[in-house]
Structure 1
Amino acid sequence: MSNKIKILLGIILVEIMAIAFSISIQSKQTSLNDNSLQQFAILDSTGVHRFIFGKNTLERNEVGTWIVNQKYTADAPLIRQLFQVLAKIEIKKPVSDNMKKEIAEQFKTQGIDIQILKEGKTVQSFKMLDIERECIVQKPDGEAFVIYVPGYNISLSEVFKLSEGDWRAKTVISSSFFGVKKIALTYTEKPQESFVIERDSTFFKVQGISKLDSNMVGNYVDAYKNIRVFSFLDKPAMKDSLLKTQPYCIIEVEDIDKSKNNSIKVFTDKKQLFGILGKTEELVELEPRYFTRFFVRKKDFAK
């Protein structure tokens, strides 16, 4: 075979390889386009009634209330945010074949199962991994993608990995202005600043205060219509440790509806606030900037 023929065959072989590579790339791009960038999004939430995020299940009951793990009422604002996020999910990029091989075992051992059901049928089913704050999902057929939410500075993996306590409704006291019977706040180290607000025949009275600032009292009582915690914590060791210390204060609320009675022992830990609920004895985290509004003193109610 002459050198010219060898060179010609070599050129032809290179061209064939280039064409094959081009077809392969186009095939992958076409596959992604066919599947759509929003194939993991829930564009129409009508009929969606169950989410399974690993160990946690969120399910809508017959009256439309979302329930966490068949035990707790879900946080309504968080559920609304969840639907907003799910509607905007997009594929950021497909996972390369090499990376798929590298993370295959991680999906088996660390992958979180995600399922979304609509009108009794599964409309989304995939495994999720969190790698360097990127949410990587794997479909049942093995295809894997990095997904994200444009315009949101969060990783989707953070949403899917929320704890049971995070999903729960955060309101722990909900006594309306007309429902409050008594509010007592006891400061353990400064008892002279403690106070008791009680309903009387016309309004409220504060024990030990003769000239009352009615606006201050009214606004304070009204704040008890929706006292929220930051999160519920499943940390028995921390709870036991806190119970061995003296609380910063104790808040007690009596309502005309006795089912709404509750109390919170508040503990300080550096710049953090924690609480133990009287009704359920659960440990909760409190948001300082929000919760310190309740820490007023008896003299603040005087005119």
Structure 2
Amino acid sequence: MNKSIKYLIAIMLLLAANLWLFFSGSGNNTPAAETYFASEDLEEVSRFLFVLDGDTTKIERADQEWILNDQFKADEGFVNTLISILERVEVGRTINDWDKEILGSAEVEFDFNSRYRFQLATNPNRTKTYFISDDIAKEVAVPGYRDNVADIFTLHPDQWRDRLVVDGSWRSIQRVEVSNKTGEDFNIVFDDSFFLVNGETPTDSSGVINYINQFQQFQANEMISSGRFPELDSLASTEPMAILLIDDIKYEDPKTLNIYPGLKNQPYHLAVDENGNRMVIDARRVQQILSNPDRAN
């Protein structure tokens, strides 16, 4: 899980970079440097394909969504970050006859038609990125972007997955049930005009509303595929410490999460949804989910 923590930090840095790229402007009259994709319109990208360290990441446009490896919905924010970075990649020095280590390969498809392929490489301390085509390497960078450009290509396929677990609020959620082997069981049910907690009128109505609203755009920290972390595979075969059920009018069936005990010295809990999708969720958020918002009742 230490690797997972590093990935999470990398994701936060990438999101921060995306915000910076979005809001920053030119602000001066300095002549524009050569951009790597100067002749292409990256808004017309229809597919990305990365192959690194034995992992293949394919992100393909499908109607108004991006689909990851023909199976999962991709995180639109991360895809937009990638596009923003590639739009601003500037070319530095050129190295002919590149004969050093290759990190991996990338392919960018435009409008489901033309494709541009290149290889990726870095220097030994991974502070510089090179795009290589026909054995000619070009050092590339994004002005003001402190992270190495290659970092976004090295994300695990899991990290491109959409992390949305449930999106509900007090206006749409009808029922929440918590079965907790390590604490209190409770249920919150909408009844006519407001919610009842364990069948009774709550003493802290605002606390109940705040509790329900935490499931608005509720996202996991990261999605986890089977086999990626053996210790989590073992944990998933045990009994969960708690089960969360959320019944929202927007969903045909209730959403459920099996939540497992945290591993030693890890601030995350494994959770598995009703479709078998695995994820990790911050321990503090899990504690909030499993806490009765109307304990005085």
Query: Normalised by the size of structure 2, how large is the TM-score?
Result: 0.75
Q: Specify which of 270, 275, 280 is matched with residue 270 of structure 2.
A: 275
Q: How does 1:128-167 map to 2 (within 5 A)?
A: 128-131=120-123, 132-133=125-126, 134-139=128-133, 141-167=134-160
Q: Could you tell me which amino acid in structure 1 is paired with residue 282 of structure 2?
A: E
Secondary structure of 2:77's counterpart equals helix
Equivalent residues of 2:269, 2:286 under 8 A apart = no
How far does residue 211 in structure 1 lie from its aligned partner after superposition?
A: 4.1
Secondary structure of 2:146's counterpart equals coil
Secondary structure of 2:175's counterpart equals strand
- Please give the alpha-carbon distance, in whole angstroms, between the structure 2 residues aligned to 1:300 and 1:234: 36
Name the CA shift for 1:187/1:169 in 2 (closer, same or farther; >3 Å): same
Secondary structure of 1:267's counterpart equals coil
- Please give the alpha-carbon distance, in whole angstroms, between the structure 2 residues aligned to 1:152 and 1:292: 36
Q: Could you tell me which amino acid in structure 2 is paired with residue 188 of structure 1?
A: K
Residue number in structure 1 paired with 2:67: 67
Secondary structure of 2:262's counterpart equals strand
Q: How does 1:67-216 map to 2 (within 5 A)?
A: 67-95=67-95, 100-101=98-99, 103=100, 106-107=101-102, 111-122=103-114, 124-131=116-123, 132-133=125-126, 134-139=128-133, 141-190=134-183, 193-207=184-198, 210-216=201-207
- Please give the alpha-carbon distance, in whole angstroms, between the structure 1 residues aligned to 2:257 and 2:36: 47
- Please give the alpha-carbon distance, in whole angstroms, between the structure 2 residues aligned to 1:41 and 1:272: 44
Name the CA shift for 1:86/1:65 in 2 (closer, same or farther; >3 Å): same
Runs (5+) with no aligned partner, structure 1: 1-35
Q: Could you tell me which amino acid in structure 1 is paired with residue 60 of structure 2?
A: E
* Higher gyration radius (CA): 1
- Please give the alpha-carbon distance, in whole angstroms, between the structure 2 residues aligned to 1:282 and 1:239: 13
Q: Specify which of 50, 53, 78 is matched with residue 53 of structure 1.
A: 50
RMSD of the TM alignment (CA)?
Answer: 2.6
How far does residue 290 in structure 1 lie from its aligned partner after superposition?
A: 5.3
Equivalent residues of 1:217, 1:301 under 8 A apart = no
How far does residue 157 in structure 1 lie from its aligned partner after superposition?
A: 1.7
Residue number in structure 1 paired with 2:36: 39
Secondary structure of 1:94's counterpart equals strand
Identity of aligned residues (%): 21
Residue number in structure 1 paired with 2:9: none
Secondary structure of 2:243's counterpart equals strand
Name the CA shift for 1:244/1:64 in 2 (closer, same or farther; >3 Å): closer
Runs (5+) with no aligned partner, structure 2: 1-32
Residue number in structure 1 paired with 2:208: 217
Query: Normalised by the size of structure 1, how large is the TM-score?
Result: 0.74
- Please give the alpha-carbon distance, in whole angstroms, between the structure 2 residues aligned to 1:292 and 1:94: 53
Q: Could you tell me which amino acid in structure 1 is paired with residue 42 of structure 2?
A: S
Structure holding more helix per residue: 1
Count of residue pairs brought into register by the alignment? 255
Instruction: For residues 97-144 of structure 1, give each alpha carbon's deviation from its aligned partner in whole angstroms, at most 9, with x where no partner exists.
Output: 6xx23x1xx33xxx42211111234353201124422322211x2101
Q: Could you tell me which amino acid in structure 2 is paired with residue 263 of structure 1?
A: L
Q: Could you tell me which amino acid in structure 1 is paired with residue 212 of structure 2?
A: V
- Please give the alpha-carbon distance, in whole angstroms, between the structure 2 residues aligned to 1:223 and 1:293: 9
